[in-house]
């Protein structure tokens, strides 16, 4: 390991880091234009997406069995994107290219994050936006974003898979509606920039061993995009060995792990409640090509991982995102033969912000008794609110300590 000191770099010595220039978050197209198929005349339509933090997670690392720990764990926090998920990387590309080709309207099916991103970028472009969403299957935060941005919403009975089938039928007959699901190749091109960032960020802190990247998988588009990104960097000599890719699905929606489609996918991680992934084959190829694996985690494991992330690292990610961490924890437990722990640094991709789906987090906290989180106190606030003076007295009398 060599390279400059950085607060995120594992191990001593830690010295002060020279302050760097403050650069604006210029968006992934401006930053990686040479790597992206953007029409030369196109002006980027951006909200300043990308450039998300890679957060070192030492307290999470300590949760792994001592003899099965990778050298370091990092969190690639995609919740820090403008609409709160990685979808912004793909949407800046899709809408920039669509606008350059003169499009007036976009459409997609979505479990919520694609919808929120499409609505935001379409608003900025002055385009119409149609969203076909599985009724009852989208977290409130995401619907709220889409509504606020003026998108038109059509709830459909069934799952995401049914919604996508309906949208594909529509765009086959109405080509003027631009499809902005990940079937749109511009989407994956944009999303591959997250892989560039992971490589660049690890290199910047002197980590150049072969990494392993854990990702939640729904439709399989994102893991395919990471694979494209790593392969492109490797081909250009910017990366020694392509990281191992680990795709994590929810047990009730795990067609890639089971090897067959799931008709009624079920999981509380609504973002990845998908039974017929469009990029299933490509996702499996990405995993095989890089020596990773696919695995499934239960909803309980997802909620436990979400909680650990927030408690230990202060990072609040939505349930689907926590699946990546749940996958790492499961692998590290070594429950099944042949489950080797990756040899290099591990990056868990946290695809969406916890604020997208506060209801699930609150329900989980309630179900666990709200232990340590003062949830009961919060809920009783209205019933037994205290005078400010009583709050001061209470806090002055409460000892503080590490946890
Ligand atoms: N994580 C989050 C937070 C997501 O919203 C999604 C997909 C995924 C992971 C999985 O990515 O589908 O490329 O394998 N959300 C889509 C949507 C389906 O409509 O927002 P994938």
Q: What is the pLDDT of residue 390?
A: 87
Q: Is 150 annotated as a binding residue?
A: no
The sheet with strand 346-350 has its strands ordered as: 54-56, 73-77, 346-350, 212-216, 244-250, 293-297
Q: What is the pTM of this model?
A: 0.92
Q: Does the C-beta of 193 come closer than 6 Å to ligand 1? A: no
Given this model, what pLDDT does residue 216 score?
98
Collapsing DSSP to helix, strand or coil, 51 comes out as coil
Distance 18 CA to ligand 1 centre (A): 37
Look-up: residue for tokens 């666990």?
368
* Among 364, 34, 394, CA closest to 196: 34
Question: Domain 28-84+188-361 carries which CATH code?
Answer: 3.40.50.1100
Output the CA–CA distances (angstroms, integers) from residue 213 to 220, 243, 355, in the order listed: 14, 7, 24
Confidence of residue 377 (pLDDT cuts 50, 70, 90): low
Which of 252 and 386 is assigned the larger pLDDT?
252
Atom 4, ligand 1: residue with shortest CA distance:
271
134 lines ligand 1 (CB under 6 A): no
Q: Please give the average per-residue pLDDT across 316-339, as a whole number.
A: 93
Rg (CA), the chain: 21
Please tell me whether 352 is known to bind a ligand: no
| 175 φ/ψ angles, rounded to the nearest 5 degrees | -65, -15
d(CA 398, CA 300): 33
Of 312, 317, 301, 322, which is closest to residue 358 (Cα–Cα)? 317
Closest ligand 1 atom to 110 CA? 19
pLDDT at 374: 62
Going from N- to C-terminal start, the domains of the chain cover 28-84+188-361, 87-184
Distance from residue 334's CA to the centre of ligand 1 (Å): 27
Q: Is residue 275 within 6 Å of ligand 1 at its C-beta?
A: no
User: Is 55 near ligand 1, meaning CB less than 6 Å away?
Assistant: no
pLDDT at 284: 98
**116 C-beta closer than 6 A to ligand 1:** no
The Cβ of residue 65 has, within 10 Å, a number of other Cβ atoms equal to 11
The two tokens of residue 55 are 């957060």
The string of pLDDT tens digits covering residues 222-276 is: 999 999 999 999 999 999 999 999 999 999 999 999 999 999 999 999 999 999 9
Closest C-alpha residue for ligand 1 atom 6 = 271
CA of 352 to the centre of ligand 1 (A): 9
Kindly give the pairing relationship between strand 244-250 and strand 177-179: unpaired
Of 254, 261, 320, 266, the C-alpha closest to 293 is 254
Asked if pLDDT for residue 353 goes beyond 60, the answer is yes
Atom of ligand 1 at shortest range from CA of 222: 13
- Closest ligand 1 atom to residue 318 Cα is 3
Q: Quote the CA–CA distance of 21 and 8 in Å, as a whole number.
A: 18
Query: How wide is the angle at C-alpha 315 spanned by C-alphas 299 and 251, nearest 5°?
Result: 15
- Ligand 1 centroid vs 113 CA: distance in angstroms? 7
Token pair of 182 as six digits: 């990940």
Tell me which of 375 and 279 has the higher pLDDT: 279
| Chain segment 182-210, per-residue pLDDT in tens | 999 999 999 999 999 999 999 999 998 99
Give yes or no for a contact between 354 and 306, defined as CB atoms under 8 angstroms apart.
Answer: yes
Query: Is the predicted pLDDT of residue 371 greater than 80, yes or no?
Result: no
DSSP strand pairing (54-56 vs 73-77): antiparallel
Higher pLDDT, 383 or 342: 342
Fold equal for 28-84+188-361 and 87-184: yes
Tell me, what's the pLDDT at 2? 44
Confidence of residue 9 (pLDDT cuts 50, 70, 90): confident
- For every residue of 223-248, DSSP letters joined together read HHHHHHHHHHHHHTTS-SSPPEEEEE
- Record: fold of 87-184: Rossmann fold (3.40.50)
């Amino acid at each position: 390991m060599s390279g400059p000191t950085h607060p995120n770099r594992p191990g001593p010595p830690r010295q002060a880091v020279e302050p760097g220039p403050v650069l604006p978050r210029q968006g992934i197209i401006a930053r990686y234009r040479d790597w992206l198929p953007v029409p030369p005349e196109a002006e980027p339509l951006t909200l300043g997406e990308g450039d998300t933090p890679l957060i070192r997670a030492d307290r999470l690392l300590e949760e792994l069995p001592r003899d099965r720990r990778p050298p370091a764990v990092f969190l690639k926090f995609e919740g820090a994107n403008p609409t709160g998920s990685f979808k912004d990387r793909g949407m800046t590309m899709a809408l920039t290219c669509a606008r350059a080709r003169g499009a007036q309207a976009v459409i997609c099916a979505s479990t919520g994050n694609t919808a929120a991103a499409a609505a935001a970028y379409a608003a900025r472009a002055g385009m119409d936006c149609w969203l076909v969403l599985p009724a009852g299957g989208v977290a409130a935060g995401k619907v709220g974003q889409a509504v606020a941005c003026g998108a038109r919403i059509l709830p459909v009975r069934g799952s995401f898979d049914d919604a996508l089938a309906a949208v594909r039928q529509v765009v086959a007959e109405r080509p003027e509606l631009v499809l902005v699901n990940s079937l749109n190749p511009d989407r994956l091109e944009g999303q591959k920039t997250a892989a560039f960032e992971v490589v660049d960020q690890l290199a910047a802190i002197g980590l150049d061993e072969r990494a392993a990247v854990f990702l939640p998988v729904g439709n399989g588009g994102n893991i395919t995009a990471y694979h494209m990104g790593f392969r492109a960097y490797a081909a250009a000599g910017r990366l020694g060995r392509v990281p191992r890719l680990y795709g994590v699905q929810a047990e009730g929606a795990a067609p890639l792990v089971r090897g067959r489609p799931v008709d009624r996918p079920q999981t509380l991680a609504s973002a990845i409640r998908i039974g017929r992934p469009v990029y299933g084959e490509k996702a499996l190829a990405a995993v095989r090509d890089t020596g990773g694996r696919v695995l499934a985690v239960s909803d309980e494991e997802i909620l436990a991982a979400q909680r650990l992330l927030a408690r230990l690292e202060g990072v609040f990610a939505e349930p689907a995102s926590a699946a990546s961490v749940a996958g790492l924890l499961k692998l590290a437990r070594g429950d099944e033969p042949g489950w080797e722990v990756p040899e290099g640094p591990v990056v868990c991709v946290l695809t969406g912000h916890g604020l997208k789906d506060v209801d699930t987090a609150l329900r989980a906290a309630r179900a666990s008794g709200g232990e340590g989180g003062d949830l009961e106190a919060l809920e009783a606030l209205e019933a037994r609110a205290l005078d400010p003076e009583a709050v001061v007295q209470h806090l002055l009398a409460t000892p503080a300590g590490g946890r």
